[in-house]
Amino acid sequence: MTFIFRTALPSEAADADRVLRAAFFPYLRKLGREIPADYYKWLPASIERGDVFVADEDGEVVGVAATERRDRELFLDRLAVDPSKQGTGLGRWLLERLDEVARARGDLALSLITAEMMGHLLRLYESHGFEIVHRGPPDHGKDAHTRVHMVKRL
């Protein structure tokens, strides 16, 4: 398994959307929600800004990390691994690459928010050095499932 980590190209918006939808379908279903057609309408603009990274395997997008640049912090908005690659360590590999990106930018931390009910994700992030800093209801109000805010100091 050989992956290339790089910023997403504008021509890869549909591929990134495909991976995000496939990876997040079970997550949102567990939250009692569906993925509407326009759910990732922000993706092309985020790619244009250079805030979306991909794992490329033989020219195919198999992983996506959508980020936001914040004050001295890299916020991980979405981390998605194609279902055919889940369980291979690709998610952990993407997190390691994001550490490198954040350090190169001079960021002091990585942060993210995930649903508390997704225990396997909490374990992944904690094993990568993230710590829980807050639990509470989601800001968007689309469901009532507790969210966990996590930070990894660099």
Q: How many domains, the chain? A: 1
CA distance linking residue 89 with residue 93, whole number of Å: 6
Q: What is the pLDDT of residues 26-81, one digit of tens each?
A: 888 887 888 889 999 999 999 999 999 999 999 999 999 999 999 999 999 999 99
CA distance linking residue 67 with residue 85, whole number of Å: 21
> Is residue 17 predicted with pLDDT exceeding 80?
yes
Q: How many CB atoms lie within 10 A of CB 34?
A: 9
Domain that holds residue 131: 4-153
Instruction: Classify residue 11 as left (phi > 0), alpha (psi -120 to 50) or beta.
Output: alpha
Which residues make Cβ contacts (< 8 Å) with residue 109, sequence separation at least 6? 72, 73, 74, 102, 151, 152, 153, 154
Q: Are 68 and 51 in contact (CB under 8 A)?
A: yes
What is the arithmetic mean of pLDDT over 142-151? 86
Q: What is the pLDDT of residues 84-139, one digit of tens each?
A: 999 999 999 999 999 999 999 999 999 999 989 888 999 999 999 999 999 988 78
Q: Look up the pTM and report it.
A: 0.92
> Is residue 1 predicted with pLDDT exceeding 70?
no
SS3 2: coil
Residue 72's pLDDT is 95
Q: How many CB atoms lie within 10 A of CB 56?
A: 19
Q: What is the CATH number of the domain that holds 146?
A: 3.40.630.30
